[in-house]
């Protein structure tokens, strides 16, 4: 009995996780995309190898849960591969894929169980006092992660696309499907809110 499409996707996903990302030009990518539209498994593997790390990273920044990021990324790729025939190339494939990734993240956050699944440790890390406690151990990475948790998902998405993925404002606008002016204001608001949270955490450290 042959494997299902889901089983095939999971097998390709696991194989791609151990494959180094290639660095070809846009014409080569276009050729692989055409082959993927025809259902060629090797083309799926190629696209996964090229974009898997970026998609997982974006999902992790938005969801703030590494274990959920892998699942969200896999969902995003499955959606993208199923919808490849509808991809018209009006934006780059990466822009289209990032957009699907953010929708997969949003779907997860809308689930009724999302909030209920927070562990005591996650709640503890979201408080300034806990962040200050970690700072005594010079674990700035934990502090930054705790403060980013306080930003809204749209703000985290914009920050991740700009600061982590290095996208220009125009491409972020296409991914988020918002005007460029809104991208700028959202990034400014996110940075301002993060600075405010950082200052509050530093005051708690100094007063401790």
Specify the range with the lowest mean pLDDT, choosing from 22-26, 112-116, 153-157: 112-116
* Predicted local distance difference test score (pLDDT) of residue 4: 60
DSSP-assigned states of every residue in 35-98: HHHTT-HHHHHHHHHHHHHHHHHHHHHHH--HHHHHHHHHHHHHHHHHTGGG--SSS-HHHHHH
Higher per-residue confidence, 198 vs 133 = 198
Domains of the chain: 1-117 (1.10.1740.10)
Residues 52/21, Cβ–Cβ less than 8 Å: yes
Buried/exposed 75-84: b ≥16 CB within 10 Å, e otherwise: bbbbbbbeeb
* Predicted local distance difference test score (pLDDT) of residue 124: 38
Average pLDDT over residues 108-131: 49
Residues 176/157, Cβ–Cβ less than 8 Å: yes
CA atoms within 13 A on the CB side of 137: 8
Could you tell me the pLDDT band of residue 206, with boundaries at 50, 70 and 90? low
Write the pLDDT tens digit of every residue in 66-115: 788 999 999 999 999 999 988 888 889 999 999 999 999 888 877 745 55
Whole-structure pTM value? 0.68
């Amino acid at each position: 009995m042959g494997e299902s499409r889901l089983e095939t996707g999971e097998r390709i996903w696991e194989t791609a996780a151990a494959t180094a990302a290639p660095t070809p030009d846009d014409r080569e990518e276009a050729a692989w995309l055409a082959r993927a539209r025809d259902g060629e498994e090797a083309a799926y593997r190629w696209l996964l190898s090229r974009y898997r790390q970026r998609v997982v990273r974006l999902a992790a920044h938005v969801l703030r849960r590494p274990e959920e990021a892998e699942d969200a990324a896999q969902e995003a790729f499955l959606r993208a591969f199923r919808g490849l025939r509808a991809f018209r190339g009006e934006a780059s494939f990466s822009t289209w894929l990032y957009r699907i990734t953010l929708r997969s993240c949003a779907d997860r956050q809308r689930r009724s169980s999302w909030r209920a699944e927070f562990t005591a440790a996650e709640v503890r890390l979201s408080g300034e006092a806990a962040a200050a406690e970690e700072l005594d151990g010079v674990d700035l990475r934990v502090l930054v992660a705790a403060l980013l948790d306080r930003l809204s998902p749209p703000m985290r998405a914009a920050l991740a696309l700009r600061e982590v993925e290095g996208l220009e404002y125009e491409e972020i606008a296409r991914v988020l499907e918002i005007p460029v002016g809104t991208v700028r204001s959202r990034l400014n608001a996110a940075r301002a809110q993060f600075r405010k949270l950082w200052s509050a955490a530093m005051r708690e450290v100094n007063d401790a």
